[in-house]
Amino acid sequence: MKAGIIAEGKSDMAVITNILKGKLGIDKSDIAYLVPELEKDETDLAIMRPEQFSSWSIVKAKCEAGNVVRDFMDIIDDGRFLVIHIDSAERNDYGVENLTKNTIDDLILIRNTVKSKIEEWLGENRRERIAYAIAVEETDAWVMTKYAQNRDDTGMLNNPKERLASKIIQTESPKAQKQLRNLDFFDRYGHYSYEFRKNRNLSVFIENNNSLKQFCDELETLRS
């Protein structure tokens, strides 16, 4: 095991998986997906609300509980690290308010403020070997970098999910679109972000999204 991922959803995990491959060469078999399904039995899962499976609230809960961070990182001796993902789109809901998004500096400020919020949740469970996958606004904005025509930061997009869906319609054949719709979110977003598995692609894409660049820079410091 090399890395664990705490993320809002499966689509985010898929994108991060491809980034880990492209940036650090980490194989999917070396990644632990720290999802609630693995910690609960079917009896518990049956009474859980949908938002308890994936959303920023589950990321917050896992950070605050601390046991995932502690047990995953502190027991096994293999130089593993943890990726914590959250989208900034719902930042008002988790207490990061009044931040506009008009300039690159605004995007950097949002990312840094959200990171501070996660560190606040982690408290004493904060570790050096944690990389923060904070997507401004959503991970879809990271995927949108592969379609970027100019140097604009895709973090400026207000509705990256819809923009990405529209790009897929433009670029994929009807048959491919149908096949993609039949995939689960992990495989679908794994396909959307497949180009991230090459470092040379990533090094181009990060120029169009500062939050993606900062995440990749943090990963670089964890290279063992």
Partner 1 sequence: MISEITINNFKSIVDLTLPLSNINVFIGENGCGKSNILEAVAFLSLIGSDISNEQLELKGVRTAKSSLIFNSFKNTKTQKSVAFNVKGFNREINYKISDQSENSVSPKWQALRNIVKAPFLLNVTTGRQKKDIWTDYPENSDIQGFIEKNGDLVDIHDSIDFNEKVKLIFNLISRTIIEEYLEKYLIYSPETLNLRGYQTESKKEPLGIYGENLDVLISSLSKDEFETLKSKSQMISWLEDLFVDSGDLLKMKGYKLGRSHSKLYFADKHMKKNNNVFSSENANEGILFFLFYFTLFLSKQTPNFFAIDDIEKSQNPKLCRTLIKTICEIAIENNKQALITTHHPAVLDGLNLNDDRQRLFVVKRNDEGHTVIERIKVKPTVNGESLKLSEMWMRGYLGAIPTNF
Closer residue to partner 1 (CB): 42 or 105: 42
Angle formed at CA 119 by CA 63 and CA 51, multiple of 5 degrees:
40
46 makes contact with partner 1 (CB under 8 A): no
Q: Give me the torsion for CA of 46, 72, 116, 199, rounded to 10°.
A: -100
| Single residue of 76, 104, 169, 176 touching partner 1 by CB under 8 A | 76
44 counts as binding partner 1 under rule CB under 8 A: no
Are 209 and 155 in contact by the 8 Å Cβ rule? The answer is: yes
- The answer to whether residue 152 forms part of the interface with partner 1 (CB under 8 A) is no
- Between residues 71 and 162, which has the closer beta carbon with respect to partner 1? 71
- Segment 180-219, which members bind partner 1 (CB under 8 A)? 186
Residue 85: phi, psi to the nearest 5? Answer: -105, 145
Of residues 98-137, those binding partner 1 (CB under 8 A): none
Q: How far apart, in Å, are the Cα atoms of 80 and each of 16, 45, 176, 205, 218? A: 16, 28, 36, 26, 14
* Cβ proximity of 208 and 36 under 8 Å: no
Q: With binding defined as CB under 8 A, does residue 37 bind partner 1?
A: yes
Task: Tell me the residue type at 151.
Answer: R
State the nearest-atom distance from the C-beta of 189 to partner 1, in Å: 14
Tell me, by CB under 8 A, how many residues bind partner 1: 25
Residues forming the site for partner 1 (CB under 8 A): 1, 4, 10, 21, 27-35, 37-39, 67, 71-72, 74-78, 186
